[in-house]
Amino acid sequence: MIPDATGPRALRRPLVAGNWKMHGLSAEGAALAGRVTGVLADLFSARDRPVDVVLCPPFTGLQEVGRAVAGSGVFLGAQNVHWEDKGAFTGEISAPMLLDLGCEYVIIGHSERRQHFGETDASVRRRLAAAARHNLRPILCVGETWEEREAGRTVERVTAQLHGALEGLGRETAPTGLAVAYEPVWAIGTGRAARGTDAQEVAALIRRLLGDLLGPELAVRTRVLYGGSVKPDNIDEFAGQADIDGALVGGASLDAEAFGAIVRRFAR
Ligand code: PEP
């Protein structure tokens, strides 16, 4: 069980999100979602949900996965969202379109988007604002590269990303249900997770920065996740940390048993 369940921690229901990236045809996604709801069925029969669980399939799987999780207590999330509601933006998907398919969450600013598709802090900020307008809950990803870490620039990088995304939004326009995922780029998909104590240090920094940007009340309520090669056998490193309220899981979320074990570790 998570320590400190009576302190500020009690204000934050843990959150575990599975980022399926570009994996799975829609029927495969539906089958995987069915296995996930199956392995977690006992958790969600509880009256007070002990943890929020989100599945983020590729856009093409949203409809079928949405059907598979309907009524289960598991939420549907997307992997990105455009900042405009509609228009001449070939290949993009808007917040109303995601809501239409039953999405409640959306990942924004994942490092793979930043690295391969030219996402910047400015575009991340516009996407966040779109999520806020439509009450989609964003999971905002931040994190440093290995070179930045080696150069002692982790704090600088994470601070710049968070400011770039949130500065000036203020508490009135802050996205509802914002979560921030600390995902060191060098830990994503590499099998080399951060140390729990290092991740906690950055999670605490993120919470302090959220306090400056959005005010102390929102900072204490915002869930900060760790992501980067999370597996059932390393999850204890993270689940015991005071400022880590859950995980953003890539590879291991494609295995229902492994994902279920990670979710259970955060259930309170
Ligand atoms: C991710 O895609 O956000 C992620 C953390 O991937 P992995 O768990 O595979 O490192």
Residue 110 CA: nearest ligand 1 atom is 3
DSSP string, 119-138: --HHHHHHHHHHHHHTT-EE
Q: Give per-residue pLDDT as tens, 207-262.
A: 999 999 999 999 999 999 999 999 999 999 999 999 999 999 999 999 999 999 99
Per-residue pLDDT reduced to its tens digit, 109-149: 999 999 999 999 999 999 999 999 999 999 999 999 999 99
Pocket test for ligand 1, best of 107, 108, 111, 229 (most atoms within 8 A of CB): 229
Annotated catalytic residue, options 110, 119, 144, 148: 110
Burial class of residue 49 (count of CB atoms within 10 Å of its CB; 0-12, 13-18, 19+):
middle
- Domains along the chain? 8-266 (3.20.20.70)
Q: Residue 145 in 3-state DSSP?
A: coil
What pLDDT score does 252 carry? 98
| Annotation says 183 is catalytic | yes
Contact yes or no for 227/21 (Cβ under 8 A):
no
CA gap 166, 163 in Å, rounded: 5
Q: How far apart are CA 158 and CA 183, in angstroms?
A: 10
Our answer to whether residue 134 is catalytic in this structure is: no
3 state DSSP class of 159: helix
For tokens 């982790």, the residue is: 154
pLDDT in tens, 56-95: 999 999 999 999 999 999 999 999 999 999 999 999 999 9
For tokens 């779109």, name the residue. Answer: 130
Could you identify the atom of ligand 1 that is nearest to the CA of residue 181?
A: 3
pLDDT digits (tens, 9 = 90+) for 156-210: 999 999 999 998 776 666 777 999 999 999 999 999 999 999 999 999 999 999 9
d(CA 110, ligand 1 centre) in Å: 9
Which helix (DSSP H) or strand (DSSP E) does residue 36 occupy?
helix 26-39
pLDDT band of residue 9 (cuts 50, 70, 90) is: confident
